[in-house]
Amino acid sequence: MAKLYFYYAAMNAGKSTTLLQADFNYRERGMETMLWTAALDDRMGAGTIGSRIGLTADAHRFEKDTDLFARIGMEHEARPLDCVLVDEAQFLTERQVEALADVADRLGIPVLCYGLRTDFQAQLFPGSAALLALADALVELKAVCECGRKATMNLRVDGEGRAVAAGAQTEIGGNDRYVALCRRHFFDRLREAEERAVEAA
């Protein structure tokens, strides 16, 4: 039976690299895949999944109103799919996650989603919350904090490397805007940002 998987981690844990490796493994065996990524993340170019080690692949782009079940179903009729892979899965809506569960349950296609669990304020993204609730399998990929412990949190930083404690949940960026930290150091840096904000007020 096909399953819905959620591979989650902090920034810089190799989520996109792992997705591209899984895609390569399927295609190397002559199997058909369909790749998706968030339209709002164009760091590597529109409709491109890219990793920090230089691997890239073209992908379909999803927006908040994209009907994933319909789009994947049409593709599946044109060429039977063996796997669907979704990058930046934290940006999915709850309805889209439900649609991906239907892809696994009703179309019999495994769906592998990769994304962040929490934002820069340690809050769940909507897509991640839905995946944590509905996925058949949850897999944590490992990133490393500057102290050597497992990094589970994503700290947003400004141009000078100082922690940012407030702002919109979604702000696209890489190493220039985010640092992966363990929980202890994440909250230490976040408190420093909050104290700066109080002093400046």
Active centre residues (catalytic): 88
Q: Assign 130 to helix, strand or coil.
A: helix
Distance between CA 161 and CA 154 in Å, rounded?
Answer: 13
Residue pair 9/143 in contact by the 8 Å Cβ criterion: yes
b/e sequence 132-159, b meaning 16+ C-beta within 10 Å: eeebeeeeeeebebeeeeebbbbbbbee
Integer Cα distance of 197 and 1 in angstroms: 52
CA atoms within 13 A on the CB side of 127: 28
| CA of residue 96 relative to chain centroid, distance | 14
